[in-house]
Amino acid sequence: MTNILIIYTGGTIGMINDPKTGALKPFNFSHITSNVPELKRLNYNFSVHSFNPTIDSSNVTPEIWIELAVIIEDNYQKYDGFVILHGSDTMAYSASALSFALENLSKPVVFTGAQLPIGELRTDAKENLLTALEIAAAKNENGLPMVPEVCIYFDYMLYRGNRSTKFDSEKFQAFTSTNYHSLAEAGIRLKYNEKYILPYPEKPLKVYKYFDTAVGSIKLFPGMDPRFVSGMLNTPGLRAVVMEAFGSGNASTNPEFLNVLREAINKGIIILDISQCLGGTVELGHYETSDELSSMGVLNGYDMTFEAAITKLMFVLAQNKPIDELKKMLSISLRGELTKLNGQA
């Protein structure tokens, strides 16, 4: 029989109303069937691993990502799939980070959560949980896991984790993946878009347990003072920065601003250029306003989300390889997180 491990980290999904105060409080997730009796009707087994204490997703750190990776590694042979219940605010960061930490993943790791607590009458938690479990248990016609990758299921849509971003704080449809097709849609049936799902790996799972947080981010805006950028890039210990540029990767041609970037790159700081736009890709050199960036050595982040870009930087820097090798890793797709301009993911 299929076995699924539910990993409960915290978040809205695990809240119920206190009958005395009316305030929301976490409940014991090992008693989940009392709140979701439909779980008793599933034709597979599941177990629950709860974080103690539970974590508000705003307090998630790389140490939590490593803990999740280790839990999966320790239970990899016992379970056919994993469902991670996580606060939605930083879910895309955690899903992106875990995708990099779990190389050659051959089993589903499905993140889900909710906008309303599981104890609320109109909650989205039950559907999200039940369908996430179904996805984690699904097999293809060859008996292999249907979705052997880290993904996010939310409001009837399954997305690749490192292609997802939270774009709405109120609607049940909280996540989107504008630069990559959905992996599945849930309606009367679960419809899998198999050609967009990562292939089943040939090598065994390899788990990485380090992230380097010597990274930063700069979001460009008209009128930005180059001294601010200089202050950021001269932060002691800084190794790399995600630069959220305009449109297809464009930036000001102000000589002072460009000199600040050039000096940082010459000191060995990596600058990864992504777009502020939800959709589209970076094309360095396509316009004059990005040609200078390309010439000085700013790296093309293509169509990566911010969440994928920043966690990929942390992951890659932790490999402690020569800078040329780090730059090469950043410029290729490691876990399906980017699509190059020739259309190859």
Q: Is 33 a catalytic residue?
A: no
Q: Which residue has the tokens 């050609």?
A: 195
In sequence order, the β-bridge partners of residue 103 are 206
What CA–CA distance (Å, rounded) separates 287 from 1?
57
Helix (H, G, I), strand (E, B) or coil at 47: strand
What CA–CA distance (Å, rounded) separates 251 from 221?
9
Tokens coding 199: 């292939």
What CA–CA distance (Å, rounded) separates 131 from 126?
8
- Do 110 and 136 contact (CB within 8 A), yes or no? yes
Catalytic residue among 12, 112, 281, 311: 12
C-alpha to C-alpha distances, 23 to 26, 56, 117, 332, nearest whole angstrom: 10, 16, 11, 47
Q: Which residue has the tokens 């409080």?
A: 25
Start-to-end C-alpha separation, the chain: 35
Give the active site residues.
Answer: 12
